Structure 1
Amino acid sequence: MSALRVALIASARHPIAEPFAGGLEAHTWGLAHALTGRGHHVELFAAPGSDPALGARELPVHRVVLSRAARSDASMPGAAWVEEHHAYLRLMLDLARDGEHRFDIVHNNSLHYLPVAMAPALRVPVITTLHTPPTPWLESAIQTHDATPVTFAAVSRFTASAWRPLVPAARVVRNGVDTGFWQPGPGGSDLVWSGRLVPEKGPHLAIRAARAAGVPLKLAGPVADERYFTEQVEPLLGDGAQYVGHIDRHGLAQLLRTAAAALVTPSWDEPYGLVVAEALACATPVCGFDRGALAEILTPDCGLLAPPGDVQALADLIPRVMRLDRRAARARAEQFCALDRMADAYTALYEEVAR
């Protein structure tokens, strides 16, 4: 099939630009870049300020303007919720009007319910990637029609299994990272933890495990929950634990290349774990909690997993992980986590659904 015209729906709240707000934004950036590089025509629906270097055209996010009377109404939800709802509503109505003349595929890469709930109104095929465990809003959207016309993909076998009662046939297309950018490095003597600093990612547990193992730790990522950071992370800093801030991909890659190992400490069932793929691509082995999809990505020669939440068990594994062969970590990334593999899989799915 020739070049495809793809409407890629992303977050209306966070721009697809560095430093990324989270793994979902980093994933969308990589996918848009890979598709454009393959000659496909990508139009990206995302928050204003998304990276113009993607080569994708940014679809406008329309902000709602509410009257003082509406804002003071007792039923008024949070302003951010209303703005996000309005943006996706405008987009889906726009695509329902004439989307089939402009696009071959609509790929919903957001977490919002409206692209799924309103998919039957479109005359162009819709693919939705499931990036999270089941949520009430998305489950409701799927059930708005007896047979939803949406084709679903899931980022891991674990995530596909979690959705199976409602979405029995989700295709597994694992997230990938650009192994040309995330290059292997020589390692070092410190540990690294990266991601959003929120309770479900467990950075406070990483600090405790590193301290129990007697190995310095550097943490990087956006503080997405100020109260959690102030109360549970900040008091643990010092004595070998350093927060280096919200750094861009170049800074993070350098941090990973020169780390002895990466800690991944989810306190929830991780749907995939992009930070694991980034670490492996930099030839850095991984030590983490056995939750969600992490066991799908890691093999014993590139990472070890402790029982969920067991800080001492994680600390006991750290010296062993630091001795793993870095070449095995890089090989696993190339075989399992490469962006090219993901882009090829999505392109094949687009072509199948478009036919």
Structure 2
Amino acid sequence: MRIGIISHLKHPIAEPFAGGLEMHTFQLARMLRQRGHDVTLFASVKSDPDLGLEAICSETAIAEVGLSEASDIAFFREHHAYLSLMNSLRTRDFDVIQNNSLHYLPVSMADTIPMPMVTTLHTPPFCWLESGVRLSDTRNHGLVGVSHSIERQWAHVRSLDAVIPNGIDLNKFGFQPFADAYPYLVWYGRIVPEKGLHLAMDAARQVGLPLRIAGPAHDETYFRDEIQPRLGGDARYEGHMAHADLADLIGGARAFLCSPMWDEPYGLVVAEALACGVPVAAFARGAIPEIVDSHSGVLATPGDAGSLAMATLAAMQLDRRACRARAFAICSAEKMIDGYEAIYAHMIHRMQEQTASPLSRVAAPRDELYPAPSASTLSPAMAHG
């Protein structure tokens, strides 16, 4: 298939990844190309050229604009980049467009292009994206959710065509048996308030093990006010690490602490930790209860550092091989690509039928690549209310 992938433009689609969305888009483009598809990635200029890059904009991250009018400049850069792209797609020769942009223009203009579009919903509804989805033509615009949690949050706007969990390259997160020499805990991700690192640092101190931290510090004020005062001999910030170094850091940990202050749409960091064989202690929010099970993680009361500490102590007793097995069962990139190939083929077929018979209305089959989760293991704090 000839596939065009529309990326978001805040950060380049390249290592080291700014976040989970960049990693997901990179993985999707790379593996579709490996399967023989002709892929073009529409992204910012510093994205990886090996992904079939067609640059449509410089990065639009506010920090890189550096002006008092930063938000307006970023808004108009994105607006004009996506408007130009969608207009150009009217004469381009693609079989399907994959939209990972989180922007309202591609979804609201889906019915202006001659090929079907599939939009993956990586976030809960917000006003701009929700309005675009409501305006889109359902006949040639398929919606995919990355979790059942996201599916439920979008249900009042529109039903989804498929739930396809994000996947990771399990070979890049190799299993690491625990070495007793220097036990530590790990936290990694974007260092912003909604990721709750300060609570993970408090929990690690209650456990009594050092915490090693990795990821980009996207919020300077939060880092200065909440994170730096908590750093010390038992809490060390490693910076924004390259992929191989990050995998080594994760794999050497006794447990991974996940402390979201919002409902995580998926949680790639959880999948990566499990792939390394590292048990997870996490706040029970969003899609995280869909990823971990009683053999691979322990859930804690959201926002409660003491509960997270208790969950960490329990998680450290879990079998690391069971964690790796859980990653193979539900977090495989191969399974993710199977799902996207299936929805692309379905959307192409549905649009061909619509073209041949305009009066026909073919409903999309409901496709779930894993079942809704059963009750997950609770920490002692949650089990006792």
CA distance in 2, matches of 1:303, 1:132: 24
Indicate the larger mover: 126-135 or 79-88: 79-88
On the 8 A contact 2:260/2:285 being kept in 1, the answer is yes
Tell me by how many angstroms 1:135 deviates: 0.8
Correspondence for 1:321: 315
Sort the Cα spacing of 1:148 and 1:321 in 2 relative to 1 into closer, same or farther, 3 A. same
Residue identity in the other structure for 1:297: I
Correspondence for 1:40: 37
Correspondence for 1:67: none
2:256 to 262, 284, 289: 262
Identity %: 47
- Equivalent residues in 2 for 1:135-150 (5 A)? 135-145=126-136, 147=138, 149-150=140-141
Residue identity in the other structure for 1:38: R
1:184 to 161, 175, 181: 175
Report Cα offsets for 1:210-252 as digits up to 9, x if no partner. Answer: 0111111011000111111111111111140111000011111
Does residue 1:165 correspond to 2:156, yes or no?
A: yes
CA distance in 2, matches of 1:325, 1:182: 17
Correspondence for 2:107: 116
CA distance in 2, matches of 1:154, 1:95: 24
1:93 to 84, 87, 93: 87
1:345 to 339, 348, 351: 339
Tell me by how many angstroms 1:318 deviates: 1.4
Report Cα offsets for 1:170-211 as digits up to 9, x if no partner. Answer: 410000000111110123411111100001111111100001
Where in structure 1 do 4 or more consecutive aligned residues deviate above 6 Å? none
1:61 to 51, 56, 64: 56
Report Cα offsets for 1:251-304 as digits up to 9, x if no partner. Answer: 110011111110100000000000000000111110010000000000011000
Report the 3-state secondary structure (helix = DSSP H, G, I; strand = E; otherwise coil) of the residue aligned with 2:175.
Answer: coil
2:6 to 4, 9, 13: 9
Q: TM-score, normalised by structure 2?
A: 0.85
Sort the Cα spacing of 1:63 and 1:31 in 2 relative to 1 into closer, same or farther, 3 A. closer
**Runs of at least 5 residues in structure 1 that lack an aligned partner in the other structure:** 65-74
**Runs of at least 5 residues in structure 2 that lack an aligned partner in the other structure:** 60-68, 350-385
CA distance in 1, matches of 2:135, 2:37: 32
On the 8 A contact 2:97/2:118 being kept in 1, the answer is yes
CA distance in 2, matches of 1:199, 1:148: 39
Correspondence for 2:239: 245
Report the 3-state secondary structure (helix = DSSP H, G, I; strand = E; otherwise coil) of the residue aligned with 2:295.
Answer: coil
Give the number of equivalent residue pairs.
338
Tell me by how many angstroms 1:92 deviates: 0.7
Residue identity in the other structure for 1:28: T
Residue identity in the other structure for 1:199: P
Q: TM-score, normalised by structure 1?
A: 0.92
Correspondence for 1:68: none
Report the 3-state secondary structure (helix = DSSP H, G, I; strand = E; otherwise coil) of the residue aligned with 2:56.
Answer: coil
Residue identity in the other structure for 2:213: L
Correspondence for 1:226: 220
Does residue 1:175 correspond to 2:170, yes or no?
A: no
On the 8 A contact 2:57/2:78 being kept in 1, the answer is no
Report Cα offsets for 1:56-104 as digits up to 9, x if no partner. Answer: 321221469xxxxxxxxxx9962111111111111111112x13xx210
Residue identity in the other structure for 2:326: R
Tell me by how many angstroms 1:149 deviates: 3.7
Report Cα offsets for 1:14-62 as digits up to 9, x if no partner. Answer: 1111111110000111111111110011100111111123xx3212214
